Amino acid sequence: MNSTVVDVVPLILIGGLTTAGVYLLLERNLTRMLLGLLLVGNAVNILILTVGGPAGNPPIRGRTSDGKTATADPLAQGMILTAIVISMGIAAFVLALTYRSYRLSRAEDVVNDPEDTRVSELSDLSAGAIDEDLVTHDPARDTDAPDELDALPGHEGSR
C-alpha cells in the first residue's frame, strides 16, 4: 500500500469525527452534546496518535519488536491515556447534568433562561437609545492624572 494513502486515511477520519462532533455539540439536546464531546475527544486521540510518529520498539531499554530500529514515542501514548481519562470525566459530568435536568423538567433539551432573554432584550433596547451627549469627547478630562473615576488604591478618587 502506498504510504501517502496510509497517511491520508487518519486525517480524513479525524476530520469526519471532528465535523460530526462539532455538529452534535451545537445541538440543544444534552445527549447529542455528550456524543459530540465523545466524538471530538476520539478525534483528538487519533490526532495525537498520528502526530506521535511511526510505530517502533517499546520505550523500554533492551526490548525490540519485529526488528524495528527506532523507539516509539511514549509521550503520545501518555497524552492519549490522559485524554481518555479527562474525556470520561467530562462524559460522567454531562451524564449527571442530563440526568438531573431530566429529573427536574422531564426534558432533555436546553432552553433559554427567561432572565437571560430579558437582560438581552434590555441591552438591545438600551444600545439603540444611546444619547449623543454621552458619546462626545471631552479633551479636558483626557489626561493621565488620576481623577474621581479611578479606583486605584492610594489615590484620592478611590473610596
Q: Where are the domains of the chain?
A: 3-57+72-115
For residue 158, pLDDT beyond 50: no
Residue 83: which of 47, 115, 126 has the closest Cα? 47
**29 pairs with which residues across the strands?**
109
pLDDT of residue 135: 52
Classify 3-57+72-115 by CATH class: mainly alpha
Average pLDDT, the chain: 79
For residue 55, pLDDT beyond 60: yes
C-alpha cell at 100: 438531573
Banded model confidence at residue 13, pLDDT cuts 50, 70, 90: very high
Amino acid at 51: V
Neighbouring residues of 50: CB distance < 8 A, sequence distance ≥ 6: 10, 11, 14
> In angstroms, rounded to a whole number, what is the distance separating the alpha carbons of residues 115 and 82?
39
> In angstroms, rounded to a whole number, what is the distance separating the alpha carbons of residues 154 and 151?
9
For residue 130, pLDDT beyond 50: yes
For residue 114, pLDDT beyond 50: yes
